[in-house]
Every structure is written in structure tokens, then in C-alpha cells.
Structure 1
């Protein structure tokens, strides 16, 4: 998964205006106590970050 696909999925899940805010504010323990944005900046693969976001948001299995 590329960063662009990650952000497309985030916008689909949370809306275009809220996705980036949520990603910069919500700390996820599965990402080492970092936000999605911090994890991506630290080099965590977007697919791994998406899996953590997916779990936190309790999205449907089809969106995994």
C-alpha cells in the first residue's frame, strides 16, 4: 500500500475534512504510542498503519 492509498482510505472512513486531523491527534498504542501521522513519518509501512487505524475505528472487514 502506498501513502496515497492510505490517505484515500482514511478520507473514505472519516471524511476528507477530518481524516488528517484525526491522524495527527489520535494516539494508537499498536503504533508504539504514536499517531498515524507520526508512525508514517517514522517509516512504519502504510499498510501496517492502516491495520492499526482499521482496528481502532472498528471498520468492517471488507475495508481491511
Structure 2
């Protein structure tokens, strides 16, 4: 799994999930999808156990085969164009 040193806030995490998967499907994935790399837990269970949002986001992306170029920065404001 790729690791990024940037922390992700809960609001950014939720926005990233909704942006990538949609509001309803995203909530269902967080609640129902058991991910091996999160200790055979759902994302919600991992977050409740204290796993950082960033790690849960990356594990979710990997489990759902999201293209790597969308793993970093999803849910964050788009940087200004130069």
C-alpha cells in the first residue's frame, strides 16, 4: 500500500468517499465492506478503533481498485491553477 505523510481530517475523508463513490454507496461501503488490510474490519470499525482516516482511505481505495492517481487529494479543494 502507498503511504502518504499527509494527515486527512474526518471532513476531508467523508468528502473523498462521497466524491469517489457517491453519498449513499460510500456510506454503505464504510459500513459493510470488510477490508483485510484494516484487520478484517469495516472502515467504520477501523475508524472507531482509532485507525487514521488517511490509512482507511488508502485501504478503501485499494480494496475498491480505485486508480492510484485518485488516491491522493480526493475530497480536498482543488489547488489554484498557475
TM-score bin, normalised by smaller chain = over 0.9
CA-based RMSD of the aligned residues comes to 0.8
1:7 aligns with 2:18: no
Aligned residue in 2 for 1:52: 59
Aligned residue in 2 for 1:21: 28
Higher relative contact order (CA 8 A, sep 6+): 2
5+ residue gaps, structure 2 = 1-7, 72-82
Query: Residues 4-39 of structure 1: CA distance to partner in whole angstroms, max 9, x if unpaired?
Result: 111111111111121111110000000000000100
TM-score scaled to structure 2, two decimals? Answer: 0.74
5+ residue gaps, structure 1 = none
Inter-partner Cα distance in structure 2 for 1:12 and 1:60: 14
Inter-partner Cα distance in structure 2 for 1:39 and 1:48: 9
Number of equivalences: 64
